[in-house]
Amino acid sequence: PLDWTLWRIGYSARLLKTNCFRTAASNTSFPAVWMLLAQYSGRVPGLFVVVKKKNFFTMPETVEDKANLELYLPHPEVRGMTRLNREAFKRTVVVPVLKVKKEIVNTLLKSLKHTVLQRPGLKRVVEDPEDEDSRLVILDPHKISEFSLGESDQEVLKQLNVHPEVSKYNLELTYENFKSEEILRAVLPEGQEVTSGFSRVGHIAHLNLRDHQLPYRHLIGQVIIDKNPGITCVVNKTSIIDSTYRNFQMEVLAGERNLVTKVKENNITYELDFSKVYWNPRLSTEHGRIVELLKPSDVLFDVFAGIGPFAIPAAKKKCRVFANDLNPESYSWLLRNCKLNKVDNKIKAFNMDGRDFLLGPVREELSRELPLLKEEQKTSFHIVMNLPALAIEFLDVFQHLLAGEPCSAAGLPTVHCYGFSKHDDPAKDVRERAEASLGTSLDGRCSTYLVRNVAPNKEMLCISFQIPAEVLYKRPSIPASKRLCSSRDFSEEKLKKS
């Protein structure tokens, strides 16, 4: 069956995508097959596609192995430090070196590339204090057993006419030489989890610290700034997201207190005040997936538009867009971003409650446009409802939203509604809740897409479906007098025939 075939494609694509993200930067575009799959996920009834993209930032360094961790561990006196003292991280370690004439250093580095020290931030070649014509090449102490080279390495040195004697060298390590995770692992109480990831929003790093990390939060913030170029402000989330305006309380841990920033997503630039509006860089893939479903001349109604990550790319794609958000700050930044991206004449923006937006501008536009829609026209109507905590509860608005004769099946609007689920079967849970709000079954006429894992046992999903005609339209009731007339006419016609 088609669903099973597409599920298998989805599985293969997940493997493909996983491999892509291991080797490519986070902004690498999808393979063509993946984007085709994303298109199907919004159109094929019953299709449930799982996608997980790593579009949050981890600290760019990781600890190689336990042996390296022991060698490059900062001074033990830093344990328990809550105020960053960079001088306390100084440490001297003994490493093996080879004395080499400076003319052949580059050749030697290439020939012994698996034996030479390979650690970012540390020089592999240093001056020889006893001979200005020679250099000391630092070797990896974990690959040199008892400070002596193996036979293959000795053969290389023989060909280069280099004496194989390995000497000891005191290498001073400073705060600059240690990686973020090494610093935090040395500082935090032994055995406790180390913060290793954050969301990056422009110049801001956004953390969600655990309780045991809070006493060290200012030090953690400063380390992140020191080790990540471009980060000048670190904040920690101190409350859950408020469902009304979708923002949250935060504490500035380190750096400047400027929370107005600029971000780039899917080649579009946005400006925002991170303390007053909702922005999640982990949703960039989902924004791109929905926009990919749209065609030029389609109509998009964005019920909870935020600062425009669905609306603005859709307008860039020459769609007609109606974008709404209840948060006055989001509405203000939406207008600003429309002008910034030169689509302010293609987007009608509203600052209303989502329910009022659906009952007002959306109903008016659909009532005007759907009756004029001809069979040969290929305009589609899409309604995006990205408020996962509450959006499913708004679906009851579509019950008898329009009056009159239904439009063609192809013209019925497609809804993309987001929700959270902690259920064992999240796709079934979201579908059943949507059916309860709509008052009808969606079995066989919806697709469910796993957007991301929000927390342990909590998923974010998108359910897509065309609004059934029997839900969307309220058939005009026939007055009693007309019903009586019609019944009498039918009886007389029947008598004549008999």
Annotated binding site for S-adenosyl-L-methionine: 287, 325-326, 353-354, 386
In Å, what is the CA distance from 66 to each residue of 63, 170, 244? Answer: 8, 21, 47
From CA 439, how far away is CA 452, in angstroms rounded? 28
Q: Which two tokens stand for residue 428?
A: 């079934």
3-state secondary structure 150-161: CHHHHHHHHHCC
Half-sphere exposure of residue 43: CA atoms within 13 angstroms, side-chain side: 14
The span from the CA of 147 to the CA of 167, in Å, is 7
Whole-number Cα distances in Å, 156 to 95, 163, 171, 464, 483: 21, 11, 25, 63, 102
363, 401 Cβ separation under 8 angstroms: yes
Q: Which residues contact 239 (CB under 8 A, 6 or more apart)?
A: 248, 249
Binding residues: 287, 325-326, 353-354, 386
Which residue shows structure tokens 């500035």?
Answer: 252
Asked if residue 439 lies in contact with residue 400, where contact means CB atoms within 8 angstroms, the answer is no
Q: Which amino acid is at 159?
A: Q
If phi > 0 it is left, if psi is from -120 to 50 it is alpha, else beta; for residue 301 that is beta
Write out the two tokens for 335.
């207008």
Q: Which residues fall within 8 angstroms of residue 468, CB to CB, at 6 or more apart?
A: 412, 438, 440, 445
CA 84/CA 221 separation, integer angstroms: 10
Which positions ≥6 away from 321 have C-beta within 8 Å? Answer: 299, 300, 302, 311, 314, 315, 343, 346, 347, 348
CA distances from 292 to 133, 251, 314, 321 (A): 62, 36, 9, 15
334/309 Cα distance (integer angstroms): 9
CB 231 within 8 A of CB 220: no
Q: Looking at 72-168, list the stretches that DSSP marks H as alpha helix, in order from N- to C-terminal side.
A: 105-111, 151-159
Helix axes 32-41, 284-293, angle to 10 degrees: 70
